[in-house]
Amino acid sequence: MDTREEAAALTAKMTLDEKVKLLTGKDFWRLNGVERLGLASVMVTDGPHGLRKQISRSDHLGLAESVPSTCFPTACGAACSFDGELIYKMGEALGEECRKEEVAAILGPGVNIKRSPICGRNFEYLSEDPLLSGRLAAALIRGIQSRGVGTSLKHFAGNNQEKRRMTTDSVIDERALREIYLKAFEIAVKQGKPWTVMSAYNKLNGTYCGENPVLLTDILRKDWGFEGMVISDWGALSKGLESFAAGLDLEMPGTGNGYEEQVKRAVQEKRFSIEKLDEAVERITALILKAEEGKKVPFTCDMKAHLDLAARIVEESAVLLKNDEIAPGNPMLPGRAEEQIAVIGAFAKHPRYQGAGSSKINPVALDCAWDAFLEAGCKAEYAPGYSLEDDLIRPELLTEAESAAAGKDRVYIFAGLPDAYESEGFDRENMLLPAAHVELIKRVSAVNSNTGVVLLAGSPVDLSWEAEVKAILLACLPGCQGGRGIVNLLLGKANPSGKLAETFPLHERDVPCAAPSGQIYPCEGKIVQYRESIYVGYRYYNTAKKQIRYPFGYGLSYSSFEYSNIALDKTTLRDGDTLRVSCGVKNTGNRPGKETVQLYISQENPAIYKSEAELKDFIKLSLEAGESKTAEFLLTHEAFQYYSAKKQKWAVENGVYEIRIASSSRKTELAATISLEYAEAEQEDYRASLPGYYNLEQEIPFSEQSFLAVYGRPLPEETPVRPYTIDSTIQEINGVFLGRLIGRVVDKNIAGFAQGDKSLELLTRKMMQDIPLKQLAFSGVPMRMIEGIVHLLNGHPVKALGKFLRKRGGKS
């Protein structure tokens, strides 16, 4: 009997009460079981770049203590490896640590597309490109699940900003939704087969994701064939019965809000069939059975090996952005251990190695670059350069740094974004580094021109100071073993091979979802128009011929590589054909290195609007000095498809296409053409009605009028602030006395929780302003009480009293 059959057999033996009890969590992290039938209660925990199993108090913001575990590089860095095999190994290690801590499933990976570099949670996501995101997510999923532990692919879908993330409405046209924002999920579901998918907090095209049957049933299950369990993000439910009807299986966490009683009553009253309930119960039961079966999978949990792997991922994902010569034939990097060096910047001793929020890991061991330099035998002098307590420019620290840098052979500055600048729960205000970091870079490089910068940040930053320094190494957020990984790269013990998984624009105003396209990110209202449609990241910058700082797919090496001999096995592609593409790559440097060979496809003069080129495949080659290898790719018709919103299906347009072999999205090394001659092809031309989507170089290509035509239906209406609902935020209820009182109570609790930690207090305060009232259930406030408070806020004391006196699980 397989798991699904066993789950069905167990479900058939359950009482109605036992069934509905399974629909919601037992507590913050545990699922309910059915003890009578031997069905255990199992635990899920946060991830995705490490295990965050909380010890006592529970929260979803990374505030309470958790068990020690390996903190791997966050997704923003790991994605720059472009290496599925390496990410699979990371998944294996995560799975082993879950098994050690008896965790059934880890909540990750996250594949939300990086629509803007100032999204506060970008460090937890992989890329601006759906193909790269989907493939690496699938690799991580397979690695984790190979150890008998489940995953939860998140946040499904359109969760691309943190500001008001629980109440915004992502308005996305059908083509952009399918090609960009759902594609990574589709790839990960089909290739990785995650045990669960987590629905997002936000609305999508007018409907909360957790209440959206098109998303949870039509697309996820019917189109993609997903057979696992759909779980809510923590506290996301607004209308429980609508979520159940849409295809949500499990509400988390268990807050005692009466959801199971509502479903029970709906089944008894024949509003839902018992078969509908059984489907959800069977999927939850199957997850528990898989977790129990997973305990039989042999495993070892070698924490030292995991730490070594974490350091290796840093070495293979850090991106060398710049490496000028300090003398003829002598580049700034790599340096040598015997040189006199200065190590500047507090991050060298106290690294920014991970993001803040629900993914915050308690590392089993934490190194730093300063210790790694000393262990390598370097003759080094250290100066902090800036304070970690605030962003103030401190003259005395700058003077100390200048003194340390003067006369040294090389200077390494560690700079980046502090925790308070980027986190789950809020977005950045701009792309700027702290002024103290920028001033340090300028002052030190003026004293010693042999200066390089190590950047520690979870997403692109303003690099207008780059001309001041000789080298820039982007380490992203490198995890708990970033110190030795970074120093191994700086001293040449490892060779950089990372490639940018997202574009570095010059300024946040250059991003397609920002002004002057008619919007500001994040926009002030709850309705978020994705006016740029398919033009996200490099798809926009390259098509619009926009000047940028560094392109997607870019990264330098201490080696050099030569491309040659592109070959296509066909000149014409017809129905049912596949296309084999190959080329030669040679390491022409004097040391071993790795090169990511990228394949892009560009159509000549398409009728439908398209980006200038799109990534369709990639492979990372490891080459000894002087060694040559062949990169091989196999393409199917899917590589040439676009989504036809008009026909509601994937389509192909016949014509001439260029196959590009590239070292970045803006550097084509080799190219060849192929003709498509499909019997069933489409030709959709919207030049007359949508000129802005064909000519991206005009000042405002994405007007609201054009977007309305692309969207093809009326826009969802902005929800008024009043009357208040359980989805109203702490900030929104400030308009009435009771709301202000609640705000003060929340504020006082934040101050008490932070216990004098100003950075934590600021971070939490930013998050809490956009928390909806329903999230108070996490603090133990019953949902009926929250509903009563809402009535009081709206001036209805009698209705409020009814809620306060209502028994748990009664009708709303």
Q: What is the pLDDT of residue 687?
A: 94
Distances (CA, A) of 358 to 46, 163, 424, 496: 6, 16, 7, 30
Question: pLDDT category, 791, cuts 50, 70, 90?
Answer: very high
In angstroms, the CA 212 to CA 232 distance is: 12
pTM: 0.96
Average pLDDT over every residue of 393-397? 98
In angstroms, the CA 156 to CA 194 distance is: 13
Per-residue pLDDT tens over the stretch 605-629: 999 999 999 999 999 999 999 999 9
Share of residues in the chain with pLDDT > 90 (%): 85
What crossing angle do the helices spanning 3-13 and 274-294 adopt, rounded to 10°? 130
| Helix (H) / strand (E) containing 510 | none
Peptide bond into 155 cis (omega under 30): yes
Q: CA nearest 59: which of 342, 358, 384? A: 358
Lowest mean pLDDT among 187-196, 222-231, 435-444, 524-533: 524-533
Q: What is the pLDDT of residue 792?
A: 94
Question: pLDDT category, 809, cuts 50, 70, 90?
Answer: very low
- In the block, residue with structure tokens 């990228």: 598
Q: What is the pLDDT of residue 754?
A: 67
Residue 789, SS3 per DSSP: helix
Average pLDDT over every residue of 121-147? 98
Q: Give the phi and the psi of residue 127 in degrees, each rounded to 5.
A: -160, 170
Average pLDDT over every residue of 338-365? 95
Per-residue pLDDT tens over the stretch 3-56: 999 999 999 999 999 999 999 999 999 999 999 999 999 999 999 999 999 876
In angstroms, the CA 63 to CA 458 distance is: 19
In angstroms, the CA 512 to CA 541 distance is: 8
777 compared with 640, residue with greater pLDDT: 640
Q: Cβ contacts of residue 301 below 8 Å, gap of 6+?
A: 96, 97, 99, 100
In angstroms, the CA 565 to CA 542 distance is: 26
Query: Quick check: 810 pLDDT over 80?
Result: no
Average pLDDT over every residue of 365-370? 98
- In the block, residue with structure tokens 């296309």: 579
The dihedral through the CA atoms of 792, 794, 797, 802 has a sign that is: negative
- In the block, residue with structure tokens 């596949």: 578
Distances (CA, A) of 53 to 231, 288, 294, 603: 18, 18, 18, 48
Quick one: tokens of 74?
A: 């966050």
Q: Cβ contacts of residue 662 below 8 Å, gap of 6+?
A: 553, 598, 599, 600, 668, 669
- In the block, residue with structure tokens 């100066």: 383
Quick one: tokens of 25?
A: 């969590």
- In the block, residue with structure tokens 């100003």: 758
Number of neighbours of residue 121 by Cβ within 10 angstroms:
30
Write out 64-80 in H/E/C secondary structure.
Answer: CCECEECCCCCHHHHHH
Residue 614, SS3 per DSSP: strand
Q: What is the pLDDT of residue 783?
A: 85
Given a contact cutoff of 8 angstroms between Cβ atoms, the answer to whether 347 and 458 are in contact is no
Residue 807, CA atoms < 13 Å, CB-side half-sphere: 3
Q: What is the pLDDT of residue 62?
A: 54
What crossing angle do the helices spanning 259-268 and 274-294 adopt, rounded to 10°? 140
Catalytic residue, from 233, 249, 367, 617: name it: 233
Pairing relation of β-strands 504-505 and 548-550?
antiparallel
Per-residue pLDDT tens over the stretch 726-769: 999 999 999 999 999 999 988 888 777 666 676 677 778 888 88
- In the block, residue with structure tokens 């490896």: 81
Q: What is the pLDDT of residue 56?
A: 66
Question: pLDDT category, 518, cuts 50, 70, 90?
Answer: low
Q: Cβ contacts of residue 269 below 8 Å, gap of 6+?
A: none
Question: pLDDT category, 57, cuts 50, 70, 90?
Answer: low
Number of neighbours of residue 365 by Cβ within 10 angstroms:
14
In angstroms, the CA 576 to CA 679 distance is: 10
Q: Which amino acid is at 447?
A: V
Q: Greatest CA separation found in the chain?
A: 83
Burial of 748 (0-12, 13-18, 19+ CB in 10 A): exposed
Catalytic (active site) residue 233 = yes
Average pLDDT over every residue of 160-182? 95
The separation between the first and the last C-alpha atoms of the chain, rounded to the nearest angstrom, is: 42
The most confident of the ranges 251-260, 337-346, 759-768 is 337-346
Average pLDDT over every residue of 539-545? 97
Given a contact cutoff of 8 angstroms between Cβ atoms, the answer to whether 361 and 52 are in contact is yes
Per-residue pLDDT tens over the stretch 662-707: 999 999 999 999 999 999 999 999 999 999 999 998 777 888 899 9
In angstroms, the CA 281 to CA 264 distance is: 13
Q: Which amino acid is at 737?
A: F
Length of the chain: 812
Average pLDDT over every residue of 270-285? 97
Quick one: tokens of 80?
A: 């720059």
Q: Cβ contacts of residue 763 below 8 Å, gap of 6+?
A: 356, 419, 420, 423, 425, 426
Average pLDDT over every residue of 427-453? 97
Lowest mean pLDDT among 149-158, 480-489, 513-522, 666-675: 513-522
* Dihedral, CA of residue 389, residue 393, residue 397 and residue 402, to nearest 10: 140
What 631-634 contacts at long range (C-beta under 8 Å, 24+ apart), as own/partner pairs, is 631/582, 631/583, 631/584, 631/585, 631/597, 631/661, 632/580, 632/581, 632/582, 633/580, 633/581, 633/582, 633/599, 634/578, 634/579, 634/580, 634/581
Q: What is the pLDDT of residue 276?
A: 97
Per-residue pLDDT tens over the stretch 58-80: 665 555 688 999 999 999 999 99
Quick one: tokens of 664?
A: 């970045």
Residue 120, CA atoms < 13 Å, CB-side half-sphere: 24
In angstroms, the CA 559 to CA 61 distance is: 42
Mean of all residue pLDDT scores within the chain: 94
Average pLDDT over every residue of 291-305? 97
Given a contact cutoff of 8 angstroms between Cβ atoms, the answer to whether 320 and 471 are in contact is yes
